[in-house]
Chains A and B, each alone.
Chain A
């Protein structure tokens, strides 16, 4: 069975520190993605790699505010990583 890692975290507004819903969280080059929930939370398993570029994109227009995208590069992840992400409001 293929090895995987668990990526879990929360997206908040850098300005207000409030959770942001509807942000698309994905791993670059992979089909998988997930949207943050009401609490700005997300979690998913993805296949093991030496590094991961996790992309955060606001693609729901102004439905939940307008935020700049962000990429986070992860290396040397063992089984689980927790990400606290603050997005800049446009």
Chain B
């Protein structure tokens, strides 16, 4: 009864949030260069990116179109590997000058003590570091034999800062799923406060590597693991916002599933394209900062994100949970947008039937 009321009230909340569509997170794909060649990269990033880094001034011009920022407005620098930019601290300082917070998503390879200090000096407020397993597995997925050693040092530094809102993210796959309890112990031992778990979407390099994708049964195991460990309260562990998980809703996250792409989350991509989360198919782009006023466009377009009735097609068409899920995370829609790529609820159902 209480859960049903909570569900209804959350659906009303979603409607209001969508109507207001306050921009809280702005991802900036500031580079597509990367110092790694991860097996699961959804963006096919490499050291030889075909794009030049976006000049800071170009991004700032777009940021300056936002005249009134929300209290928790944050610019998230992502890539590629953002720490490859020599001017990363300057980027942060210019963002802070405009009254915004900034954060960073990194593989941790270049995050040493000096970089930690210079980023804090530049007003870094939050940090996400990717860790994909214990040493052997992390190095395999990251395609680099020194990767774990570097990320371990980065995690120690980040966890030592009481000011940083720091979390670790892990892409769970067929090889590291059995290591999750050990990774959990490792992170708790390092004093990490928050851990987010993702699965790998079969796009980019990952689509040709079945070992990276979870079977239905493994996916259910993952949710069982999260649900169990959350009860211990030793770390803020959660399943990412990637999809609706039916019977596991509220067991693996603090709130019901809500894909906020284009509602509270926008992005400026490497070529100036304006979209929502950077992992969403590029055909969802709403415009370009080199032609459009970013904030005017945020206010006037994004209908695909704010009215999701178009997702009621393919396997979503007759789904009994559609009103709660609304087409799953939008990064699961590709090409002709006729069917959802992954249905998490279906995976759970299939696993339960086994």
Contact = CB atoms under 8 A, between A and B. Distances in A.
Contacts of B125: 1-2, 4
B78 interface: no
Given A32-B117, A47-B162, A1 B122 contact: no
B101 interface: yes
Given A1-B103, A4-B123, A31-B117, 5 more contacts: A2-B163, A6-B123, A31-B116, A33-B117, A45-B123
Nearest to B72: A1
Contacts of B113: 31
Given A31-B160, A45-B96, A1 B120 contact: no
B123 A1 contact: no
B164 interface: yes
B121 interface: yes
Contacts of A45: 96, 120-123
Contacts of B101: 1
B218 interface: no
Contacts of A82: none
Given A45-B96, A47-B162, A47-B163, A1 B121 contact: no
Given A2-B125, A4-B125, A32 B165 contact: no
Contacts of A3: 163
Max chain B CB contacts within 10 Å: which of A31, A33, A46?
A31
B130 interface: no
A36 to B, nearest CB: 13
B117 A1 contact: no
B123 A32 contact: no
Interface in A12-54: 31-34, 43-47
A59 B72 CA distance: 39
Nearest to B117: A32
A32 B120 contact: yes
B96 A1 contact: no
A61 B27 CA distance: 44
A1 B193 CA distance: 13
Dominant SS among interface residues on chain A: strand
Contacts of A2: 125, 162-165
A23 to B, nearest CB: 15
Contacts of B103: 1
Interface string B275-316: 000000000000000000000000000000000000000000
Contacts of B32: none
Nearest to B121: A44
Q: Which 9 A-B pairs have the closest CB atoms?
A: A2-B163, A44-B121, A47-B163, A45-B123, A1-B125, A1-B165, A1-B126, A32-B117, A32-B120
Contacts of A43: 121
B74 interface: yes
A7 to B, nearest CB: 10
A73 to B, nearest CB: 20
B195 to A, nearest CB: 18
Contacts of B122: 44-45
A32 B120 CA distance: 7
A33 B117 CA distance: 7
A70 B162 CA distance: 26
A43 B101 CA distance: 17
14 contacts: A1-B74, A1-B101, A1-B126, A2-B163, A4-B125, A31-B117, A31-B160, A32-B120, A33-B117, A44-B120, A45-B120, A45-B122, A46-B120, A47-B163
Contacts of B74: 1
A78 to B, nearest CB: 15
A70 B72 CA distance: 37
A1 to B, nearest CB: 4
Contact of A32 (B96, B121, B126, B162): B121
Contacts of A4: 123, 125, 163
A32 B122 CA distance: 11
Contacts of B123: 4, 6, 45
A34 B162 contact: no
